[in-house]
Amino acid sequence: MLLAIDTGNTQTVLGLIRDGEIIRSWRITSDGTRTEDELWVYVRLLCHDAGISIPDIKRTVISSVVPQMNAGLRDMSREYLNTDPLFVTPSLPFRHNFLEGRFQTLGADRICNMYAGLTAYPLPQIIIDFGTATTVDVLGSDGKYLGGSIAPGIRTSSANLFRAAAQLHGISMEFPEHVIGTDTSSQLRSGILWGAVDQTDGMVRRIIRETGLTFSTILSTGGLVEMVSSRSETITKTIPDLTLKGLTAIADEFIPES
């Protein structure tokens, strides 16, 4: 059994993987003040919920973009699971040498997403992750990482707007009937949701123009992906657990089950 942990800036996804299959996953709030004992409570509950006994967890792999959580995650894994966790970093000697020693500050979640893409889908690829940030990553025809973009996430940017504008408040994130809204709520929903869709499709079209490539695969993932994916004209596939899949592939490469 593999425990895969994806710590993003908003939420941490805990996944249990058996024989390459994600059997259960949970989301908890990412919080840099959590102790290893608190993290253990969640892992214990998750395992109990999945009917897994703790000694069955033989490996732990972690993608974290929140350094304040790393010590707690590491100590939880060592002390309670008796496994030394593998942290994903750009310096790992990946079999798919897609970073070529470059991109030393690239987020671990993006590395995992690309590893999942490289392992399972045709090239070239664009991978879009809708989380605290919206990230776009581009893999060329030879499987090398070309680069990408980072923008404020859908909730991050709208939350900041609600904070900054005295007369605007949170709204339910449902697509409005018309693009041209006729009241405050429908105008906000139009701007936020159609804005996110058009940001996505516009960015994909720009990347196509800049590279001259025909992309076989345009993958999307992230906690907010359902808000955009079905309305996008460019996304070809949505895989909500792409990061966990990448974590699994990386664990199998570096800490194979003995």
Ligand X SMILES: Nc1ncnc2c1ncn2[C@@H]1O[C@H](COP(=O)(O)OP(=O)(O)O)[C@@H](O)[C@H]1O
Would you tell me which residues interact with ligand X (CB under 6 A)? 8-11, 27, 30, 131-132, 155, 222-224
CB 172 → ligand X: shortest distance, Å?
Answer: 13
Instruction: Count how many Cα atoms sit within 13 Å of the Cα of residue 51 in the half-sphere of its side chain.
Output: 2
Residue 143 or residue 240: which is nearer to ligand X going by CB?
240
Positive or negative, the CA dihedral 202, 206, 209, 213 is negative
CA dist 109 and 11 (Å) reads 12
Q: Does position 124 bind ligand PAZ by CB under 6 A?
A: no
- Of 78, 74, 210, the C-alpha closest to 149 is 210
The answer to whether residue 9 forms part of the interface with ligand PAZ (CB under 6 A) is yes
For position 106 contacting ligand PAZ by CB under 6 A, the verdict is yes
The contacts of residue 182 (CB under 8 Å, 6+ apart) are none
β-sheet bridge partners, residue 107: none
| Of the candidate residues 150, 159, 161, 179, the single one contacting ligand PAZ (CB under 6 A) | 150
Phi-psi region of 169 (alpha: psi -120 to 50; beta: other; left: phi over 0): beta
Reply yes or no on whether 109 is catalytic.
yes
Minimal distance, residue 162 CB to K ion, in Å:
23
Over the window 63 to 82, marking each residue x when it contacts ligand PAZ by CB under 6 A and - when it does not, the resulting string is --x-----------------
* Least distance between ligand PAZ and beta carbon 15 (Å): 15
What residues between 99 and 118 interact with K ion by CB under 5 A?
Answer: 109
Pick the closest to residue 223 from 172, 164, 167, 156 (CA basis). Answer: 156
CA–CA gap between residue 140 and residue 145 (Å, rounded): 6
Q: State which of residues 125, 132, 186, 221 lies at the interface with ligand PAZ (CB under 6 A).
A: 132
Phi, psi of 115 (to 5 degrees): -65, -40
* Interacting residues with K ion between 7 and 46 (CB under 5 A): 8
Site for ligand PAZ contains 133 (CB under 6 A)? yes
Which stretches of the chain bind ligand PAZ, using CB under 6 A?
Answer: 8-9, 65, 105-107, 109-110, 131-133, 135, 150, 153
Which stretches of the chain bind K ion, using CB under 5 A?
Answer: 8, 109, 131
Kindly list the catalytic residues.
Answer: 109
